[in-house]
Amino acid sequence: GLASACFANSASSNKTCEKAKEYLLTMAKNGLPKKETTNPNRSEIAEKWTINNRYLPQATMLTATLDYKGYFTSLETQLLKKWLHSLATSYRRNHFDTGRAKYSELGHTLLWVAQNQYISSAGAQMSVGSYINDQKLFDVGAKQWRETLSTMRNDGSLPFETSRGSRAISYTGTTLSELMRLAEIALSEG
């Protein structure tokens, strides 16, 4: 939403872009969002999912858009890139996990990393990597793409998601959306 508004070049969009710039710089200067550590009932998995799926890709897109439009000084751009890198590495899932989920009643075991939470994390990594020109972060997304698609059955289904009973269609949709995000980021980088 905000990123597209900044391409409009109207007086109201310029105000929106200035407010977005102020917001991003405040977040970066204060190292926000910070991990919740005082709540013993917090879910680290949910926290990582929220940042990777709902915050980091959007913050990266907005930052990249404002940077492209010339809203930041070079020092501000450096600060923002460092901040985005820090968020990406702080909130990412363990993409090197070789653990397997066992669905013996369904006749398969799969790498944990093939499922949607890892894909959303990889999308966040890839977004940031693309913007800050960090090949290691970018490659997390490419690796995730291959790992998830390697689990696909001949009929096109993804067993990790189809094993979820009545929620299978919802999880499959989420996974396909996340895979499309990876594909679009990769396509934008050639």
pLDDT digits (tens, 9 = 90+) for 108-163: 666 667 778 888 889 999 999 999 999 999 999 999 999 888 888 889 888 888 87
pLDDT of residue 4: 75
The position carrying tokens 């991003």 is: 24
* pLDDT at site 55: 95
User: What is the token pair recorded at 2?
Assistant: 């905000």
In degrees and rounded to multiples of 5, residue 32 shows phi and psi of -105, 155
C-alpha 175/C-alpha 88 separation (Å) is 20
- Reading the block at residue 88, the tokens are 């990406």
Q: Given a cut of 80, is residue 1 above it in pLDDT? A: no
Predicted confidence (pLDDT) at residue 67 exceeds the cutoff of 90: yes
Q: Are 126 and 137 in contact (CB under 8 A)?
A: yes
Which pLDDT value is given to residue 169? 92
Q: What is the pLDDT of residue 59?
A: 96
User: 110: part of which helix (H) or strand (E)?
Assistant: strand 108-111
pTM of the model: 0.86
Confidence (pLDDT) at 106: 58
Question: Quick one: pLDDT at residue 96?
Answer: 65
Q: Report d(CA 92, CA 35) in Å as an integer.
A: 12
